[in-house]
Structure 1
Amino acid sequence: MKHVLLIDDDPTIRDLLSDYLSQHAFRVSAIGDSRSLAQIVATDIVDLVIVDLNLGPEDGLEIVRRLASTSDAPIIIISGDRLDEADKVIGLELGAVDYVTKPFGVRELLARVRVSLREKPALKKRRERKIYRFSDWELDIDARKLADASGGSTKLTTGEFRLLTAFLKAPQRILSREHLLTESRSHDDEVFDRSIDVLVLRLRRKLESDPSRPKIIRTERGAGYVLDTDVTVVDARRGRP
């Protein structure tokens, strides 16, 4: 079931869209502002985001920019009927893939949601096409895909992805919690020291054959953690190191 994150400060619209999308086999998280946004994106898989650009005191375009820089989820913006066309263009340039203008029909929005999930976003900023190979795993940075030796994929939350990337950039080096905290959060995340321990535990459950006796991510008491394995970086476009 695809997970849709809806950000709209109008409770009537939130309830209407949440109910309608839920009736069409989507799991919906609906919030009225960005205060809990970072926590949701860091701890759950979000497949698509719907953002109302008119969020009272908040800048909807800034939320679009932040989401586009930290998540691969397609973004659909909701604009007011009197919103300047320039704001729509800016929203698309910042990373949104589509928009609807109020008033709009729920069937139209549903169709746009399905199309956005089906098609690869043409305006999404492309990341480095790097693949990190380590132990019996490989992480495709551009696709955010973690695959095992047999090709089976394992989903990562945004927080898990950032943390694993931080480890892969510095293999066989002891990394402090403070360093991992900085590397694995966006600028406005409310992430605390012990959150790193929780993310490490979740990564171990996905990477280790025996998470209780980790061999890939080891704990260095009083110092932090270390990715205790060789890492090879491959250019995904060329298929070679």
Structure 2
Amino acid sequence: MTDPIAPQILIVDDARDIREPLGQYLRKQGFRTRLAAHAAEAREILAEASIHLVVLDIMMPGEDGLSLCRWLVAHNGPPVLLLTAMADETDRIVGLELGADDYLIKPFNPRELLARARAILRRAPPEAAPPPSSKRRFADWTHDPDVMKLTHEDGRSIDLTTAENRLLAIFLDQPRTVLTRATLLDLTAGREAKAYDRAIDNQISRLRRKVEDDPKNPQLLVTEWGGGYRLVANVSEAN
């Protein structure tokens, strides 16, 4: 009998001959599992169940796995292990850049998937810390983490994604301090730094496009070569 508090894995794959045997195998290994044949069914399960890991096929009819992965990352969803065909190298890279935690090429050995799933679950924090609830001012910007928004002194308002909101809050907590990629990964998602340096670099690039006058020549979020990134601004509480 499966432990009722064991981690629950959602398997999303339109191929019945993959998702059902895989679900059965993972249950035998002590996990709870839920199965979905497409993204819409997965969203319904995610809305009502506590899911700790999503095993997600990229190639599905209707909404594909990359779209669902993007939605999960934007909404601070559970970690994602992508299933991909051998030829889909571009999709694998895009998936990792979107924030997926790992990928596995089909056909795969269930034991390898089990090992990767366990590794992801070990890395994942129980719950990501929420950003501060108070508004803060830096340079010409005011950050309101509760509504995930930046407001410029000239009246412009810019929406932030969940990942951008959390990342900016971390820089505002430690202005003028060099934060390495490993530190940023630990603080944002508790994930393994070596595998996801590119994910942090891409988040920084997106954030720069929103706060910098010239993103290609950043003056606020600067790169410390060999070290990481630093917010070059004073930070104060905003009313």
Q: Are the equivalent residues in 1 in contact too, given 2:39–2:64 (CA < 8 A)?
A: no
Question: Which residue of 32, 41, 56 corresponds with 1:36?
Answer: 41
Identity of aligned residues (%): 33
Provide the C-alpha distance between the structure 1 equivalents of 2:76 and 2:23, rounded to a whole number of angstroms. 21
**Match runs of 1:167-178 below 5 Å:** none
**Pairwise CA RMSD of aligned residues?**
2.9
Match of 1:97 in 2: 101
Counterpart amino acid of residue 77 in structure 2: D
Gaps of 5+ in 1: 133-168, 171-233
The separation in 1 between residues aligned to 2:98 and 2:16, in whole angstroms, is 26
Q: 1:131 and 1:25, CA in 2 relative to 1: closer, same or farther beyond 3 A? A: farther
**Which of 57, 69, 72 is matched with 1:67 structurally?**
72
Number of equivalences: 136
Amino acid of the residue matched to residue 82 of structure 2? I
Give deviations 1:101-154, integer Å, cap 9, x for gaps. Answer: 011100000000000000148xxxx8862269xxxxxxxxxxxxxxxxxxxxxx
What amino acid is the match of 1:72?
A: G
Q: Give me the TM-score of the superposition, normalised by structure 1.
A: 0.50
CA–CA distance in 2 between the matches of 1:57 and 1:73? Answer: 22
Q: Secondary structure at the match of 1:25?
A: coil
Which residue of 1 is the match for residue 59 of structure 2? 54
Gaps of 5+ in 2: 1-5, 135-145, 148-168, 175-236
SS of 2:92's partner is helix
Q: Which residue of 6, 9, 14 corresponds with 2:11?
A: 6
Note the alpha carbon deviations across 1:176-201, whole angstroms, 9 max, x for none.
Answer: xxxxxxxxxxxxxxxxxxxxxxxxxx
Aligned ranges for residues 210-225 of structure 1 at < 5 Å?
none
Q: TM-score, normalised by structure 2?
A: 0.51
- Contact 1:68/1:95 (8 A) holds in 2: yes
Structure 2 equivalent of residue 129 of structure 1: 131
The DSSP-based 3-state class of the residue aligned with 1:77 is strand
Deviations 1:202-233 (A, max 9, x none): xxxxxxxxxxxxxxxxxxxxxxxxxxxxxxxx
